[in-house]
Amino acid sequence: MSGKLRILIVEDNPADADLIREMLPQTDSLHFQAESVHRLSGALARLERRDIDLVLLDLGLPDSQGLPTFHALRRAVPDIPVIVLSGNDDQELAISAVRDGAQDYLVKGRFGGDLLVRAARYALEREHLIMELREALARIKTLSGLLPICAGCKKIRDDKGYWSQVDSYITLHSGTRFTHSLCPDCLKKYFPDEAVS
């Protein structure tokens, strides 16, 4: 992973926001561009621009407290990874946050720059993998439902009205590859002298 990563720090304590910003290294291969807001409403407004790669979210904000803070943010931007930051070392809260979609839960004062950078990298990679999985599932769904098949040649008509062989259609939409053979019935039909009884 290299390049510029745009991070939004949602933290109402300016000293904590500055400390988090200082933990993010600026190297030749990885540059963190961090900005911060101190309210959930400010975060939601900022995220409307859709140019943030990762959110570091404090759950204790002036306009929102606890897990509902995460839920509101996640509803607004379900495709942006979120790492929850909290002063509360509550394992149940941490598990709930991760179960509900947070990429990680870090307790303030108990992590340094290395852990924060690693959590950020993993969060971005996991979110990327989740997006790939969603896309793959969407492609698989195109294979469900009614598919028009020619009664004579058994070709399938796609959504654009073009006809193609069944194996070509399935390969295009799922990545599955086929080998060809003859079943015993077709072997008897096409090569009666070769078929073994």
Q: How many CB atoms lie within 10 A of CB 81?
A: 23
Q: Residues 126-138: pLDDT tens digits?
A: 888 888 888 877 7
0.85 exceeded by the pTM? no
Tell me yes or no: is domain 3-139 CATH 1.10.240.10: no
Return all residues near 125 (Cβ < 8 A) that are at least 6 apart: 1
- Nearest Cα neighbor of 186 from 148, 154, 146, 144 is 154
The pLDDT value given to residue 113: 85
Name the residue among 24, 6, 17, 13 with its Cα closest to residue 118: 24
Cα(first)–Cα(last) distance of the chain, in Å?
A: 61
Tell me, what's the pLDDT at 100? 94
Instruction: Please report, for the chain, the start and end positions of each structural domain, with discontinuous segments joined by +.
Output: 3-139, 145-197
pLDDT confidence of residue 141: 64
Task: Give pLDDT, residue 106.
Answer: 94
pLDDT of residue 27: 60
What is the mean pLDDT for each group of 10 consecutive residues in the chain (197 residues)? 82 94 74 93 96 95 95 94 92 93 92 88 88 78 68 80 81 74 80 69
